[in-house]
Amino acid sequence: MKPARSKTPARKPISRPKGSNMMSKDPVQVYCRLRPMQSLTDVSCMTVESDKIVVIMPPGSTVNFRTNKEIKTTFSHVFKSDVTQREIFETVALPLVENLINGRNGLLFTYGVTGSGKTYTMTGEPQDAGIMPRCLDVIFNTIANYQTKKFVFKPDKLNGFDIQSQTDAMLERQFQAGLLQRARFDKHHKVDSDGDSKPVVAHKRNESQSVSVEADNAYAVFVTYVEIYNNSVYDLLDEDYARTKTLQSKIVREDGNKNMYVHAVTEIEVKSAEEAFELFQRGQWKRHVEYTALNAESSRSHSVFTIRLVQAPLDSEGEQVMQTKQVVCVSQLSLVDLAGSERTNRTKNTGQRLREAGNINNSLMTLRSCLEILRENQNQGTNKIVPYRDSKLTHLFKNYFDGEGQVRMIVCVNPRADDYDETIQVMKFAEMTQEVHITRPTTVKLDLGFTPGRRQANKIFKEARSKLEKEGRPEAADLNIDLGLVYSLGGSFPQLETITSDNDQMIQSLIQYLEQRINKRNILRADLQKKQDDFRRTLMGIEQENVNLKIEAASLKAANIQQKRKISAFEGHVCKSEKQIDDLLRKLNSANERIQILEQELKDRDLALNQRLIDKQRVKQRYNTKMQVETDKLNREFEMRLRQQREHLQNQVKKKDEQLRRVHQIVLDNDINSASKNQAPESTTRVVSPVRDTRVSRKDGIPVSNPRYRRSQSADTWIDHRPQPLVPVGTILQPLMQRRRSVTQLTSPKEIMDGASRYCLVAQEHDTDGELETKLYKGDILPTSGGGAQVVFNDMECLKQSSPKARKRTGPQEEGMDQVDISTLTETKRPRV
């Protein structure tokens, strides 16, 4: 990123011949970090030969097993697996922080396969911070005493900054404080809809060192945090996320100085490392991190945490920031955590994870293609177009590769033999990257001619004036500081290159420069003479004041001797009083010791009484427990005996019921046989074991109904009476009733007499085993002498639906009995309807 300020219009630039390359270039510095082995059974395929060389040995299981040659890769530095986070920071990132303070840009990104430790290197853990937290610590340790108040520098939404006056900055601070207080109130009285209340991880200071800084400048730090997910840029600090729960895609644009930036990104001013780290944690919650087969927390996007340092010089009095936008210098440090390259056959990704892996690999391939074309243009002198726009990642960092900052890369490698194929590709990319040279940026700082050290001078002057005001000197309020001119003839001579003998432009610029130096020298001479005269007069005044102070000191000395005599007398009285106080203190201490002894005895007695009460309570509780156990035991024995007696009585009742059922069956069989002999052969019926009860009229002994009244079975019409509610019995066999009329209740005799000849009543109940029994009581509808009708029940069917998993109770006598499937007649009365 180019500095956001205009060039100094003091003198015209000196023309240079075409083809002269006056800018120096530096190669991209690549560092290698080896991850420790996760398991004792893992086999390593890498060895560290020196602090710059790594040797890779192909294992037998690799795809490239035919090439069994060792591969040596050279880096700027190789960090072994036992290296500390602090050592990596001081070697790789600390020079970038120094460049940031001095107004130069920097880019640091971690590269490697998934699960190689990139995020750990960049972020670290709470107890062992990574590069990013340590960079924040060093920056704020350096500018701690030189920061401006909030909102003095304000982003202009076009990748630049405006300077506000102290009044405007104070008003905006008050407005933001009100918004913050309202947000805290809403957060206290309102719960988020999704219950998202993740705690913020506290930032622990890991670095106490600082770098050199320009003391006469004012500084402010701004941070941004974005991610590149599926080739789209998202703002992780977007304040609308709490309301919409979605992140809007951002656009990468170019500002007026040809610098690339994310349009409408949230840029927040921070005043401490803790505040910046809290913003980073807030963005981490929104970042896309998912589980894969190779990494439990795999980054599915490239994250870019940018620290922007804004600095501007103070005015001539060293108190306020100059209200000129041209003097503002903006430098930035971008910390990039690249997502790991993946192979689908190892990660087993499908669906959305597979699409994410494809976008990650495409962006990394675009980065590799851009670096390869840059290297080719530099080595072979070609002018091919670098495809920065093929990926948002390379498009965003286009300025760094074009020479607007220092670029460094940390290659994180997992030395396991299983990752050999991916490691080889990473090493090839690292070697190629080191061959790319980046133009070294030059920082242009404007020389405004102010006195160096004016901030410290202004501070000392204010302290002195405040001290004089406290001593009661009102004239101190009218004192003003005058730092004067800078005693310097200007910068160094311009670079002169004589190409031809008639280079008038060069001679004219040299004459103009010398005239400026002569004029400045004359001004400085006059100012020096004036200051010498002022100093001489001030010195004479100080000498006169010194004589007066000597006379005053002599009189004060005499008064001091008298005061010392009085003090000696007071000291004698104080000694006597101290002795009396010591005697009283000894008596008081002895009384306090006696009180402590008595209190201890009282505590011991209370403890003994409490112990007795506790013992009594334990005995009582033990007795109650024993009684409860005995009571439970007796209750269980009583219940067992009662259950045995109940089962015995039930078995006896079952035996008697079975015997009665068999006797009843035998009687019914005999009645059926006798009835069949008396009837004609053609009058066989479907009725099973009928029992007739012919009722006789009380007056004349004539039957009310004809018991032999029968209709043709082909003309039978059934009334199917099913009271509600009934359990459905569709899973068992049903009786065949071709023509039937179903009713749920009978309210009048006419409902039976209406063309029906047969009646069926359905009833349900549970047997002794708890199974459901459906009984069908069947009968004939016979006309009565009074013109009505009566129902004579002559058949009963029992439909039993039992569970195949239920355990049936069988007695010893029931096992040998044959089960009777024929329905028996249980109703011998003839109820009238």
- Numbered residues of the known binding site: 112-119
Binding region for ATP: 112-119
Token duo for residue 90: 């001081």
Judge whether 781 and 756 are in contact, CB under 8 Å.
yes
Give the separation between CA 469 and CA 464, rounded to whole angstroms.
9
- The DSSP bridge partners found for residue 437 are 27
Alpha-carbon span 524 to 317, nearest angstrom: 19
| Helices of type H across 679-766 | 750-753
Strand 77-79 vs strand 260-262: parallel, antiparallel, or unpaired? unpaired
* Closest to 717 (Cα-Cα) out of 742, 690, 734, 692: 742
Question: Where does residue 116 rank: exposed (0-12), middle (13-18), buried (19+ CB within 10 A)?
Answer: buried
Task: Give the other-Cβ count within 10 Å of 156's Cβ.
Answer: 12
Give the contacts of 742 (CB within 8 A, at least 6 positions apart).
720, 722
**Residue 374: how many CB atoms within 10 A of its CB?**
21
Q: Is 118 exposed, middle or buried (0-12, 13-18, 19+ CB in 10 A)?
A: buried
**Residue with the two structure tokens 């009837």:** 679
Query: Cα 731 to chain center, whole Å?
Result: 57
- Find out whether 327 and 466 touch, Cβ atoms under 8 Å: no
Cα dist. 618→606, 613, 628 in Å? 18, 9, 15
Task: Look up tokens 């955590």; give the residue.
Answer: 337
Are residues 135 and 334 in contact, defined by beta-carbon separation less than 8 angstroms? no
User: Both tokens of residue 253?
Assistant: 């644009």
How far are the Cα atoms of 481, 655, 666, 770, 823 from residue 661, in angstroms, in the given order? 129, 10, 9, 20, 12
Tell me the DSSP string of 296-310: TTEE-SEEEEEEEEE
For residue 153, the one-letter residue type is F
Q: How far apart are CA 820 and CA 187, in angstroms?
A: 78
Tell me if residue 226 falls in helix, strand or coil: strand
Number of continuous H segments (helices) and E segments (strands) in the chain: 15, 28
Q: Where are the alpha helices (DSSP H) in 233-351?
A: 241-244, 273-286, 344-347
